[in-house]
Structure 1
Amino acid sequence: MSTPNLSRSIRRVGLIGAAVATLALTGCAGDDPGAPPALDPTPDSITPPDTEGPTEEPAPPAAGDGDVPDVYAGVLAAIPLAESSAGGPAFEVDDGDGGIWEVHVAVGGDDIEVHVDPTGQEVLRSDREADLDSDDAAGLEAASIDLTEAIRIAIAEYGGTAPLDDAGIDRDRGGFAWEVAFQDDVEVYVDVTDGSVIRVE
């Protein structure tokens, strides 16, 4: 009989099967989906986002601000102060004694003269000068450009540094103009409606 040989063959097949099963289990363990992925030893460098926006250019100074010589700072401050104090629009300013600014303001039908210190920071006194002149009233009615703005325009056109002598509204060639006079006898005429320079004398 060949029973011993058959037994050895059965054992050999069993051992081979066990070995195959062991290898299969080992392979499954290596592919465990729950295991964390291996890290790349050389990750790509990450460039941080650019948090700085484009560089903004500084805004240019407003016309008539940074380019006005300091010699005119007092009168340019005195006029709006006088207007605020008296409660009306200014139509004339004069360089009075001791550098005091005499600002004429229209209030109703009155011409109010407001005295302001040379720096334009303090009202010294206010007086009713007279009834408002009809030409001054008509000029203010026609004006779209106020006295302060007219002086700024005249300063830019003039281009010098002589102190202001006086400025006011006046009839000119059938209309009205702001007449701005400097102490070196230069006069600049500014249109009351659009701020254009009419002429320089």
Structure 2
Amino acid sequence: MIRVMDKLLLFLLSLAVGALSVLAFGIGLNWIPEEWSREIVQDLYSGKVEWLQWTVVAVSVVMFLIGLRFFYVSLRRSNSSAPSIDQRTEFGDIRISIETVENLALKAAGRQRGIKDLRARIRISEAGIDISLRAVADGESSIPVLTEEIQRAVKSHVEEITGIPVATVAVFVANIIQSTNFKSRVE
């Protein structure tokens, strides 16, 4: 939710900076007549057009607050450089990166015959780790048997190495390998 809000604020700040840049560009190239610029500035200072003053004040305050937010975000120290799974033991804290779990899953799945081109995605849930694998099969083995072997191997390997329970292992067989061996026929 905070990332979405930051993206929205960054979008608004970018729009405001873009609009000011176009205005400055127009004034610099004399596309905006000097009389208009003077008239707007005089209206701002004289208070003749009250809505213009309040609009400028409101936009300035909002842009200042957005700028403060991004200043804070840029100086804030992150707790970790990469997403990780944190565990506490009697000896201290253990942090295992998501990338490590992905590589363990890929290693276990890659040991199975009949599988090529593996990709893994890890999600953390209340029940443990959810592992999603995308694979290309060789087309020679039974896909249900092959995927069940992969699920079993990945689950046991990841749990054994990390000590973290694996809730699910989903395997998506995206395609089969197309054989390029064609017998040429000579007549």
- Please indicate the TM-score interval, normalised by the length of the shorter structure: under 0.3
Structure with more of its chain in helix, by fraction: 2
Larger C-alpha radius of gyration, 1 or 2? 1
TM-score if structure 2 supplies the norm length? 0.24
